[in-house]
Amino acid sequence: MKPLILALVLIATPGAVQAQTPPPAPAAPSTPAPPYGAPIGLEAAQALIDRATAAASARGFRMAFAVVEPSGALVAFARMDDVQYGSIAVAQAKARSAALFRGPTAAAEARVLAGRTVSLAIEGLVPVAGGVPIVVDGRIVGAIGVSGASSAEDDEIARAALGQ
Amino acid in the structure at residue 76:
A
Give the DSSP H/E element, type plus range, for residue 145.
strand 139-147
Give the DSSP H/E element, type plus range, for residue 99.
helix 86-100
Domains held by the chain: number = 1
Q: Is residue 153 part of a domain?
A: yes
pTM value > 0.85:
no
Instruction: Provide mean pLDDT across the span 147-154.
Output: 98
Q: Is residue 24 part of a domain?
A: no
What is the domain-level CATH number for residue 60?
Answer: 3.30.450.150
Q: Is residue 75 part of a domain?
A: yes
Query: Domain range spanning residue 61?
Result: 35-161
**30-39: per-residue pLDDT in tens?**
788 899 999 9
Nearest to 130 by CA among 90, 163, 70: 90
**Model pLDDT, residue 26:** 53
Strands 64-68 and 131-136: unpaired
Q: Is residue 10 part of a domain?
A: no
pLDDT at 117 over 80: yes
Q: Is residue 66 part of a domain?
A: yes
